[in-house]
Amino acid sequence: MNFFKRFAQNRGALIGLIILALVVLLALLAPFLYPDSPWRMVQRPFLAPGEVAGFPLGTDTMGRDVAAGLAHGAWVSLLIGLISTVVALSIGVPLGALAGYFGGKIDDALMRFTEFFQTIPNFALAIVLVAIMEPSTVSIVLAIAIVSWPPVARLVRGEFLSIKHREYVEAARLVGQTHRDIIIKQILPNTLSPVIVLASLMVATAILLESSLSFLGLGDPDTMSWGYMIGAARTVMRQAWWLSVIPGVAILLTVLALNLVGEGLDDALNPQLARAR
Amino acid sequence: MPYLSLILGRVGKAVIVLLAILVFNFFLIHAAPGDPAAVMAGEAGATDEQFLEDLRERFGLDQPLPVQLWRYMGGVLTLDFGYSYRQQMPVLDLILERLPATLMLTGAAFFISLSLGILAGTLAAMRVKRPSGSLIMGLSLLFYATPLYWVAMMAVLVFSVVLDWLPAYGYATVGAGYTGLAHAGDVALHLILPAVTLGLFFMAVYTRMTRTSMLSVSQQDFVKTARAKGLAPGVIQRRHILRNALLPIITLAGLQAGQMVGGAVLTETVFAWPGIGRLMYEALMQRDYNLLLGIFFFCALLVILFNMLTDVIYRLADPRIKQSAA
């Protein structure tokens, strides 16, 4: 059975993929559907969804279009989720690879370093980092990456430990390949599938983290995000519950979809495990 | 005294981590954009040049960096976390005042999430490939994917605003003047929503972990032996599988308990629960970096204490682990 067939066998993963595709589409279309800034006041504040034609999701406390905020927020969520995961991978993969491949003192030192970052409470560290670097897209991406790389390093190290004594690696060593070549060309490609699965789950966690930071007022002040929308609606929950419900459902669906896709990828890339389950 | 050397080793490791966090904190203050004196004073508002000059002198900000670091560490080691110029109180006093509420909240959430999570995970493992098992896993995935602060807000909306069953904000009814048992009951009533919402996310984590762990233990040889012996399935599940499956969960629980302190920032903010999480939010709003870093240090301290506790419990629960492994 090929990869796509196995993936499609998992119904949840297919549903997740469809939801994710819709969110991506919304994010890509945002600048065309709502070319105006989502921060602009366009109508009376506190319009309920469907109350006035042209504003299907109503307006917020400042008369801003909720639908426009939702679309632009999708772009921000996906972008920050994706980039911070790439940055976290680019820290975690090399560290894990070096630790697993060379072992000994290098492994000890790198793993102590990783443990240190795992000990520090994630969310508290992210808050402190963003607060001190001043909230901006760059500081948010960096903070999320800094708190999320340790699991990558541990995973890659574990894979390297189990692969480095395989025969094909020994063979590569015998024919005199350099450490660099063995790491990059022989071992790394074989660690790819668990890393891909982990990365898809990390994007989901990163989106949750970003939304929590913007909820606390640590979002980039220039970009509209889902967490900010919920945070701004917190004080008016009694008058306008939909203002907090709508963006919340958007986050929930996106994160859920990514988790489902991650599980589907896991089944498709590790068929032996899937059958045992 | 095998346990003594074990504990000493653990304490030594914890001290190193805490020292590293102090150095990290110190460099964060200096990495902040602008004058560190202004950062300590809480930036805006404290623009009085004489005041900043006093601060510089008091904290030796005119000294070279290593000297400053030495002074900073010395201060913290004598429990001096500096002064919060915004709240006009020493940072340590502020934190200690708020700590009990956070310990109560995280403690309750930890208990709820661990007990319900293990229960749900066990049920899900016993009902693999049956609708009820899938339902449990579906629900746990849902809680796992929902933003913590949003669950909290929805809980307020449903249980306080619409149904009016539970109080939405605060620690106790303001001005009710309850004493003794009535006060305890009042606080417990206020605790329900924050503790349950904080616990739900972690419950989802424990549910998935318990299920995976039980399924992998149930493949092992001693379980086959127990089955071949003709033991009742219920006995095998409880005494053979669950007991062994719980070991990795203890480790995970220790790690997650620390993360709970971070999650408390969100729940305490939504529920106006007067703990250090709420204090962290206030420090953020007021750009009170001295207070922020003090709280951060305490969060890390709590995580390390939880981890050490877990380690001890783990070794008590599993005598196979020798202290030499420490």
Return the bridge partners of B83, or none. B90
Question: Contact, A131 vs B292, CB < 8 A?
Answer: yes
Q: How many CB atoms lie within 10 A of CB B234?
A: 9
pLDDT at B287 over 90: no
In the numeric block, the tokens 């040889």 are attached to: B221
Q: What is the pLDDT of residues A114-160, one digit of tens each?
A: 988 888 888 889 998 998 888 899 999 999 999 999 999 999 998 89
Q: Do A124 and B28 touch (CB under 8 A)?
A: no
- What pLDDT, on a 0 to 100 scale, did the predictor assign at position B324? 43
| Cβ-nearest to B262 among A119, A124, A241 | A124
- CB contacts, 8 Å: A241 with chain B: 157, 161
pLDDT classification of B40: cutoffs 50, 70, 90 = low
Residue A96 to chain B, least CA–CA distance (Å): 20
Three-state secondary-structure class, residue B261 = helix
Asked if the Cβ–Cβ distance from A119 to B304 is below 8 Å, we say yes
Residue B185 has pLDDT above 50, yes or no: yes
Q: In this predicted model, what pLDDT tens digit does every residue of A101-114 receive, in sequence order?
A: 998 899 989 988 89
Q: pLDDT at residue B176 above 70?
A: no
Chain B hits for A116, Cβ within 8 Å: 17, 20
What residues have CB less than 8 Å from A76, skipping those under 6 apart?
A137, A210, A220, A223, A224, A225, A226
- Kindly tell me the burial class for residue A128, based on how many C-beta atoms sit within 10 Å of its own C-beta (0-12, 13-18, 19 or more): buried
**A253: exposed, middle or buried (Cβ count in 10 Å: 0-12, 13-18, 19+):** middle
> Hey, what are A9's tokens?
């066998």
Q: What percent of chain A has pLDDT over 90?
A: 34
Beta-carbon separation of A215 and B258 below 8 A: no
- CA–CA min distance A174, chain B (Å): 35
Q: Note whether A134 contacts B20, CB cutoff 8 Å.
A: no
Whether B147 and A230 lie within 8 Å, measured CB to CB:
yes
pLDDT of res. B169: 77
Contact residues, B window 185-214, toward A, CB-based 8 Å cutoff: none
Tell me the domains of chain A and their CATH numbers: 2-39+59-276 (1.10.3720.10)
Cα of A114 to nearest chain B Cα, Å: 12
Alpha carbon of A226 to those of A85, A233, B83, B257: distances in Å?
19, 11, 35, 27
Residue to mutate among B150, B200, B211, B296, with most A CBs inside 10 A, is B150
Question: What is the nearest CA distance from A248 to chain B, expressed in angstroms?
Answer: 6
pLDDT at A84: 95
Residues 303-322 of B with CB under 8 A from A: 303-304, 307
pLDDT digits (tens, 9 = 90+) for B65-100: 777 778 777 877 777 777 777 777 888 888 998 899
Q: A58 in the Ramachandran plot: left (φ > 0), alpha (ψ -120 to 50) or beta?
A: left
Alpha helices by DSSP H, listed for chain B, are: 2-31, 36-41, 49-58, 65-77, 91-126, 131-145, 148-155, 180-217, 221-228, 233-235, 243-271, 276-285, 289-317
- Whether B284 sits inside 8 A of A216 (CB atoms) is yes
Residue of A nearest to B257 (CA): A121
Residues whose CB is less than 8 angstroms from the CB of residue B206 and which lie 6 or more positions away in sequence, other chains included:
B113, B114, B116, B117, B118, B121, B249, B252, B253, B256
Query: Is it the case that residue A51 has pLDDT exceeding 80?
Result: no
Measure in Å the smallest separation between the Cα of A29 and chain B Cα atoms.
25
The predicted structure's pLDDT at residue B201: 87
Q: What is the 3-state secondary structure (H, E, C) of chain A?
A: CCHHHHHHHCHHHHHHHHHHHHHHHHHHHHHHHCCCCCCCECCCCCCCCCCCCCCCCCECCCCEEHHHHHHHHHHHHHHHHHHHHHHHHHHHHHHHHHHHHHCHHHHHHHHHHHHHHHHCCHHHHHHHHHHHHCCCHHHHHHHHHHHHCHHHHHHHHHHHHHHCCCHHHHHHHHCCCCHHHHHHHHHHHHHHHHHHHHHHHHHHHHHHHHHHHHHCCCCCCCCCCHHHHHHHHHHHCCCCCHHHHHHHHHHHHHHHHHHHHHHHHHHHHCHHHHHHC
At residue A247, the pLDDT reads: 92
Question: Is pLDDT larger for residue B160 or for residue A20?
Answer: A20
pLDDT per residue as tens digits for the range A28-49: 988 888 877 787 777 777 777 7
Q: Under an 8 A CB cutoff, do B265 and A124 touch?
A: yes
Quick one: pLDDT band at residue A212, thresholds 50, 70, 90? very high
Paired tokens of A206? 């990163």
pLDDT of residue A36: 78
Q: Which residues, 6 or more positions from B143, have their beta carbon under 8 angstroms from its beta carbon?
A: B151, B200, B201, B203, B204
Nearest CA in chain B to A218: B284
Which residues lie closer than 8 Å to B112 by C-beta, 6 or more apart?
B195, B196, B199, B203
Q: Which residue ranges form the domains of chain B, and what is each CATH number?
A: 2-91 (no CATH), 92-324 (1.10.3720.10)
Instruction: Nearest chain A residue to B271 by CA: give it.
Output: A234
Tell which B residues from 62 to 121 touch A, by Cβ distance under 8 Å.
Answer: none
Is any Cβ of chain B less than 8 angstroms from the Cβ of A15?
Answer: no
Structure tokens at A53: 């034609």
Of B142, B300, B302, the CB nearest to A256: B142
Alpha carbon of B63: minimum distance to chain A alpha carbons (Å): 22
What is the spatial distance between Cα B206 and Cα A113, in angstroms, rounded to a whole number? 27
Find chain B residues with C-beta within 8 A of A211's C-beta.
Answer: 147
**Selection from B249, B278, B228 nearest residue B101 by Cα:** B278
Which of the two residues, A229 and A37, has the higher pLDDT score?
Answer: A229
With an 8 Å Cβ cutoff, is A133 touching chain B?
A: yes
Contact A132 B31 (CB under 8 A): yes
> What residues of chain B lie within 8 A of the CB of A245, using their CB?
154
| pLDDT for the residue numbered A213 | 93
| CA separation for the pair A196, B166 (Å, rounded) | 44
Q: Is residue B305's pLDDT more than 60?
A: yes
What is the reported pLDDT for B38? 66
A139 interface with B at CB cutoff 8 Å: no
pLDDT value, residue B229: 84
Averaged pLDDT for residues A191-214? 91
Percent of chain B, pLDDT > 90?
Answer: 5
**Res. A167: pLDDT tops 80:** yes
Kindly list the residues from chain B whose CB atom is less than 8 angstroms away from the CB atom of residue A20. Answer: none
Assign A220 a pLDDT band (cuts: 50, 70, 90): confident
- Which residue from B234, B256, B243 is spatially nearest to B306, judged by alpha carbons? B256
Q: Tell the burial category of A50 from Cβ atoms under 10 Å away from its Cβ (0-12, 13-18, 19+).
A: exposed
Interface residue B133 vs chain A (CB under 8 A): no
Q: Give the pLDDT confidence of A235-270 residue by residue, as tens digits.
A: 888 888 888 899 999 999 999 999 999 888 888 887
- Put simply, whether A106 touches B (Cβ < 8 Å) is no
Which two tokens mark B177? 């003047």
Mean predicted lDDT score pLDDT of chain B: 80
Q: Do A215 and B296 touch (CB under 8 A)?
A: no
Question: Hey, CA dihedral for B138, B144, B145, B146, is it positive or negative?
Answer: positive
Average pLDDT over residues B17-36: 77
pLDDT at residue B314 is higher than 80: no
Q: Which two tokens stand for residue A181?
A: 């070549």
Distance from CA of A26 to the nearest CA of B (A): 20
Q: Which amino acid is at A9?
A: Q
State the count of interchain CB pairs (< 8 A) between A and B: 124
What is the average per-residue pLDDT within B260-285?
87
- Identify whether the C-beta of residue A262 lies closer than 8 Å to the C-beta of residue A200: yes
DSSP character at residue B32: S
- How far, in Å, CA of B94 to CA of B265, rounded? 16
Would you call A121 and B303 a contact, using CB atoms and an 8 Å cutoff?
yes
